[in-house]
Amino acid sequence: MTDAAIGATERSVEEFVQEKSAYYAREFARIQGKTGFSWSWNSMAAVCGPLWGAARGVWGFFWTFLVLELFALVQVGRGLWGELGADQLARYERLLENIARREAQAAESLALGDADDAEAKLKIAENLRAAADKALEAATAANSMALTILLTGIALLVAVKLAEGFYANIAYEAQYLRWRSGRGAQAGINRSGLLFGAVGILAIWPLTLLRFTVAKPDEAIAGFTGGFLGERVPITEFPVGKEYFAALAKRVDTGFDWLAINFGDVFDGVTAGIRSVLDGLEVLLIQSPWPVVMFVTVVVALRLAGPRVAIFTAAALVYLAFMGLWELAMITVALIGAGAALCVVIGIPLGIWFGKSRRAYAIAEPVLDFMQTMPAFVYLIPIIAFFGTGKPPGVLATLIFAMPPVIRLTALGMRGVPETTKEAAIAFGCSRRQLLFNVELPLALPSIMTGINQTILMALSMVVIASLIGAEGLGALILEALQYAAKGQGLLGGLAILFCAMVIDRIAQGIYRKKTGAA
């Protein structure tokens, strides 16, 4: 390296570190000039530990060694003031109280002339005394380990300090390279970072040390709450916010009741509409002879998705028929079909809108996140409040839970259409309708079909959950198997649900593959 290059590097290091630049320039050159591990020592990092990392902005160093030092300090604290045998000693005292009570009962029985009962009580007291002696021995043995734990903690602390000293310059040199490449790494000492590190240590270390080194931490911390509540309350029982939770829960109940009363006709209309669709599907699937339904379904699969899907469909339907699950399976197909169809009918237009309007998607994204991350059982609460129980509420719960994937993936597919392709189509005179149906939707179709697939699978997952609110079908069979631990029934019912979903999905995906010529 030429003198000019060396000088430029030193100036760069000086600009980066701002303080003790000569030291860091020398250490960085040593690290960069050697392959493998470089023995570079940083006394300040070894002494200050995580605080050095916070001041220099090396946050990986800060968090790693904050945890490691805390672990070592916990061992030191346990060895110095930790009451290692406190649990066994407390057990020993409880056993002594029980022994005294048994002996008193034996004396009373003896005074009443019941020698057999007195002998039994004394025998119990003798057994308890043996257990008390063992508890005392265990407490003594635990207390004798204090010195070993203390020495172990000191050894760990020394090892952590050595690791901090030897690793600090390596971590800081890596940060220097990120800063030099323009990736926004911190340069110099940041006072606000140092303050944040100090606050973090004070927030984490004292309570953690107290929790893991003191025998009764609640009693030790209880004094801090006395000024707030007028009594000494353990910190683990501090009733923060309980009254707000109860008040808010009561308001939510009132809101649900108000909506159910004032918009009951709307909810009843929605329920009636979904019930009519389900009734029609069930009449078609259940009242018709099952060989007829099987034949028509296999022919549809053959015409729309090809011979392989038709063979699989026939095998799945034969399984349902010969296992005696046909009626339950058709109810489940009606539920899945109605729920998935509503998800597609509502979700794809919304996905197209969100794919074209980033502002609309930005508003809808938190709602979609809520719909996907909220536990599925929670959906049953408002569904029951507004729509009651039965199959239509099960379809609505499926709609809420299973619609986000088709919306997200439709929007993703629409945004993935190249702008140059759309500009070329417009240049050739495409109207907005032609652009959508002849250019954007065909190019976004793979992503849309993936969204439909995910929606069908999520609708399938809601079948068992919806059975909790009266949705019949194979979900009720699985629920019964769970209640009575009927392993065979549960497995066979689960396979039936799987086959139903796979048939629906394979036919839907087969339509797309046949049109595009995909294998």
Structural domain includes residue 251? no
| Residue that finishes a domain, picked among 198, 224, 250 | 224
User: Both 29 and 119 in a single domain?
Assistant: no
Pick from 494, 489, 491: nearest CA to 475: 494
User: Both 171 and 299 in a single domain?
Assistant: no
Q: Which residue segment(s) compose the domain that 453 sits in?
A: 261-516
Q: What is the CATH number of the domain that holds 461?
A: 1.10.3720.10
For 315-348, the pLDDT digits (tens) are: 999 998 888 888 888 888 888 888 888 888 999 9
User: Both 45 and 92 in a single domain?
Assistant: no
Q: What is the pLDDT of residue 315?
A: 92
Structural domain includes residue 491? yes
Structural domain includes residue 306? yes
User: Both 14 and 105 in a single domain?
Assistant: no
Structural domain includes residue 59? yes
User: Both 382 and 314 in a single domain?
Assistant: yes
Q: What angle do CA 162, 167, 168 make, to 5 degrees?
A: 105
User: Both 319 and 190 in a single domain?
Assistant: no
DSSP secondary structure, 229-285, as one string: HSS---GGG--TTHHHHHHHHHHHHHHHHHHHHHTHHHHHHHHHHHHHHHHHHHIII
Structural domain includes residue 169? yes
User: Both 45 and 164 in a single domain?
Assistant: yes
Q: What is the pLDDT of residue 215?
A: 67
Q: What is the pLDDT of residue 217?
A: 64
Instruction: Evaluate whether 484 touches 440 at the Cβ level (below 8 Å).
Output: no
User: Both 357 and 302 in a single domain?
Assistant: yes
| Residue that finishes a domain, picked among 144, 163, 179 | 144
C-alpha span between 353 and 347 (Å, rounded): 10
For 348-357, the pLDDT digits (tens) are: 999 999 988 8
Structure token digits, residue 30: 């040593």
User: Both 336 and 374 in a single domain?
Assistant: yes
Q: What is the pLDDT of residue 219?
A: 62
Helix 326-356 with 474-484: angle, nearest 10 deg? 110
Instruction: Evaluate whether 413 touches 443 at the Cβ level (below 8 Å).
Output: yes
User: Both 16 and 130 in a single domain?
Assistant: no
Structure token digits, residue 500: 């139903």
State how many domains the chain has: 3
User: Both 203 and 290 in a single domain?
Assistant: no
Structural domain includes residue 254? no
Structural domain includes residue 230? no
User: Both 365 and 436 in a single domain?
Assistant: yes
Structural domain includes residue 242? no
**Amino acid at site 510:** G
| Residue that finishes a domain, picked among 179, 200, 224 | 224
| Positions of the chain with pLDDT lower than 50, given as ranges | 226-231, 233, 235-236, 519
